[in-house]
Amino acid sequence: MALVLQACAHGQPEPLRVVLDGLVLRTDRDPLTNLEAYDPPTLFHLALEEERKGKVAVARRIYLRLLEEFPESSFWLASRFNLGLSFEGTEEWQQATEHYLAIAVSSLPKVEADRRVWLDAHFRLAVCTSKSGDWWRAVAVFEYVLGEEWISPVQRLEALVGKGIALHEADDATGAEIVFAKALRHFQEASRVERFDDRGLAAEAAFRMGEITRNRYESVKLAFPQEILMQRLEEKCELLLAAQSRYLRAIRYGDAHTVAAAGLCIGSLYESLHDMIVGMEAPRELSDAQVSVYEEEVRQRVRVLVAKALSAYERSLEVGRRASTAQAWVARLEAAVDRLQSVYLGTAASPETTFENRL
């Protein structure tokens, strides 16, 4: 092939660029790559090297060059994905979303390795849209992934839990609860035929279900007259036990981090119920003498709540200290134990409850 060099206004030939069989040839050195010739693999590995050196902006420009000049290259998918990761790393969620979305709307690759990248791009897309507060879009992404029959049991579990979290954050507690329950059923069924080394997803689903029940527990307000008080107290106790059961399930699935977090939540349930009951004003129809008797009776009846809270805190603290990842939860547990021991030490009974045998 003959190349004609055209002269510029100063009489010097302008640099020429030609593409020949997937290879770019130049008559000068490219300012971006400092190369006179390059192809997709050369650009891709050069971008990786620039990323390794910490030159993020240069790496992005090289990836974009590859996408623009070689849109049909087999490196297109990986370049798009790496650009998404790059913008995620700098918390530029909109830019990251654009690159992941470009992959998501593309055809399903035939090569298995490319399929994994394609699927990972959908998960990353859901994360980025969540970071932008667009939880319903994240729900839609996870629903699309769940419609793919070829994904593995672990990938399906991840998509189910992700969808549940997105629904929960979008304030659809009922929808989230249904999806989390489905995720746990899937985990149990798949565990019979496939080993799950990371049980964190199941623990997250169970923990979130506990949070949903805790929110319902907190929405029930105690108030007089006596008939309403007893009705709401019964409802509140039922919700407390349901939330505790779900947190305990998370503890069975999870690691030390989950144990610390769930234990703190269980203890806070009992502590809050204690504070709520003790903090209620006595019925107005009681005399001063009757009020004193009433308050003492309340203290005697609810002190077991303090014992249960302290038991949950201390046992979770013991496990949580084993994991460095649980440090934040451990600090909160230690503060809770100190608070109970200092404020309620005079009213707390011995923490010998049926609850402590369940942890």
3-state secondary structure of 56: helix
- Separation CA 29–CA 14 (nearest Å): 12
Q: How confident is the model at residue 287 (pLDDT cuts 50, 70, 90)?
A: confident
Q: How confident is the model at residue 357 (pLDDT cuts 50, 70, 90)?
A: very low
Looking at residue 17, its amino acid is R
Does pLDDT of 355 surpass 70?
no
- CA distances for 28 relative to 4, 37, 51, angstroms: 15, 9, 25
Beta-strand ranges (E) seen in 14-123 are 17-20, 23-26, 37-38
- Using omega within 30 degrees of 0 as the cis cutoff, is the peptide bond preceding 225 cis? yes
Determine what percent of the chain is predicted with pLDDT higher than 70: 86
Is 15 within 8 Å of 27 (Cβ atoms)? yes
Q: Of the segments 154-158, 188-192, 316-320, which one has the largest average pLDDT value?
A: 154-158
Q: Where are the domains of the chain?
A: 235-359
* Section 124-135 average pLDDT: 96
pTM: 0.80
3-state secondary structure of 5: coil
Does pLDDT of 105 surpass 90?
yes
- For residue 316, count other CB atoms closer than 10 A to its CB: 30
pLDDT, residue 123, reads: 98
Q: In this structure, what DSSP letter does residue 318 have?
A: H
- Nearest one of 310, 319, 314 to 351, comparing CA atoms: 310
Strand partners, 11: none
